[in-house]
Amino acid sequence: MATETTLILFKPDAVAKKNVGTVLARYEAEGFTIRGIKMMTLCDDILKEHYSHIADMPFFPSIMNFMQETPVIALALEGDNAISRIRDILGPTDSKEAAAGTIRGDFGDKETADSKMRNVCHASDSPEAAAAEIKRFFGEGEVF
């Protein structure tokens, strides 16, 4: 197994519902190690960079508004096969499709049309994305 470090963003719905500690405890119970953690407000520029693959879509302004409702918590987690394991623990992007026992199944928005956006956490989807995203959200000396 490869040791990887990946990025998690606790989205505004997790922060507002006070689910961050519970979700973080799940990651730690799975053996992941915190390498960096901080709370931050996301500016337009960082959101446009982070979501550059969908920044030209008509729904992008609603994503920006949502991601700026509260500060987010950026988390760098390390562990064996962290990227794929964390994505499995999270469940599918659409909280309505996420099984009970997954983070999105237990804490995601299943009641509204925003179930793909209000889904507790963002997680990197590849080693390349993880490296770029960690660099985007953490400065020099903030990941240990």
**Domains in the chain and their CATH numbers?**
3-137 (3.30.70.141)
- Distances in Å between the Cα of 98 and the Cα atoms of 14, 42, 89, 125 are 16, 27, 10, 17
Nearby residues of 99 by Cβ (< 8 Å), 6 or more positions away: 91, 105
For 47-103, what is each residue's pLDDT tens digit?
999 999 999 999 999 999 999 999 999 999 999 999 999 999 999 999 999 999 999
pLDDT exceeds 90 at position 1 = no
For 14-43, what is each residue's pLDDT tens digit?
999 999 999 999 999 999 999 999 999 999
- Longest alpha-carbon distance in the chain: 40
Q: How many C-beta neighbours within 10 Å does residue 88 have?
A: 12
pLDDT exceeds 90 at position 111 = no
Q: Which residues are catalytic?
A: 122
Rounded CA gap, 130 and 138, in Å?
A: 12
* Two tokens, residue 96: 């309505």
pLDDT computed for residue 112 by the predictor = 83
pLDDT exceeds 90 at position 135 = yes
